[in-house]
């Protein structure tokens, strides 16, 4: 274990022997950190926080501190972070609340750019990218491979589906279905994230099915239930289309249009 002499680590913190800790970093009592994770200078990790293997945490990050929620009274909530995540400078990840999920969860292989923020009770999937100064309110869900542009603000309780892309500076106040592009204030939908889907190996058949469903639901003028029904019949029950339609059917905040 490589720990700088100026770092302050609670004796009860659980760090793998291969963890590196830089100068002036502070690690609290109930923190556990997995193998080969590298923590640079001036980082604060506190609360009940679990960080996996092979993560990289840049200077001045803050992970596991109390949520920005007036109802929170110091209850033992937590942060769970998976493997192979990269946190650039000044990233903040807050722990959950007892009125939410009790935990904030980050999956694997995610990239959080400078000054991005993940609020309490958020659930982040795998291979997500959050660009500079993007901010998530509480209770937000991001699906796998979602891309959140710089300076984006996402309202509490919003869901953003897998493989969706949110353009820089957008203000997102309703759910964004998987596979789509959204941008603007307030965010509107601008069709399929075609380049992203091709890069991730989606077949022409899958992309065509998603596109047909998108047009039926958002451009046909049909009522939502009828449009979803017709889309399901036309798609041949492709798994990607089923995911798209199920997301829409389960929305509680409503869908961006």
Which of the residues are catalytic?
120-121, 138
Q: DSSP string of 139-202?
A: T-EE-TT-EE-TT-EE-TT-EE-TT-EE-TT-EE-SBB-TTEEEETBTTEEEEE-HHHHHHTT-
Query: Residue with structure tokens 């660009």?
Result: 131
Closest Cα partner for 61 from 86, 35, 36?
86
* 68-73 own/partner pairs: CB under 8 Å, 24+ apart: 68/94, 68/119, 68/120, 69/97, 69/99, 69/120, 69/138, 71/97, 71/99, 72/97, 72/98, 72/120
7: helix, strand or coil? coil
Sign of the CA dihedral running 219, 225, 227, 228: positive
DSSP class of residue 66 equals: P
């Amino acid at each position: 274990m490589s720990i700088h002499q100026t770092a302050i680590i609670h004796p009860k913190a659980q760090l793998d022997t291969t963890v590196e800790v830089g100068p002036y970093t502070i690690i609290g009592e109930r923190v556990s950190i997995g193998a080969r994770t590298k923590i640079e200078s001036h980082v604060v990790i506190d609360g009940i926080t679990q960080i996996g293997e092979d993560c990289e945490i840049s200077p001045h990050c803050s992970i596991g501190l109390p949520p920005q929620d007036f109802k929170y009274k110091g209850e033992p909530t937590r942060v769970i972070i998976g493997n192979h995540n990269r946190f650039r400078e000044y990233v903040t990840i807050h722990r959950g609340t007892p009125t939410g999920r009790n935990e904030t969860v980050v999956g694997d292989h995610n990239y959080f750019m400078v000054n991005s923020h993940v609020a309490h009770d958020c659930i982040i999937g795998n291979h997500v990218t959050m660009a500079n100064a993007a901010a998530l309110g509480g209770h937000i869900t991001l699906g796998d491979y979602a891309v959140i542009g710089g300076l984006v603000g996402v309202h509490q309780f919003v869901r953003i589906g897998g493989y969706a892309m949110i353009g820089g500076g957008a203000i997102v106040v309703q759910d964004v279905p998987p596979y789509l592009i959204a941008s603007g204030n307030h965010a509107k939908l601008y069709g399929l994230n075609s380049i992203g889907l091709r890069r991730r190996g989606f077949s022409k058949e899958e992309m065509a099915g998603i596109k047909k469903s998108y047009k039926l639901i958002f451009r046909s003028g049909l009522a939502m239930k009828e449009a979803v029904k017709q889309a399901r019949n036309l798609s041949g029950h492709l798994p990607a289309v089923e995911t798209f339609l199920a997301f829409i059917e389960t929305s509680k905040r409503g869908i961006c249009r």
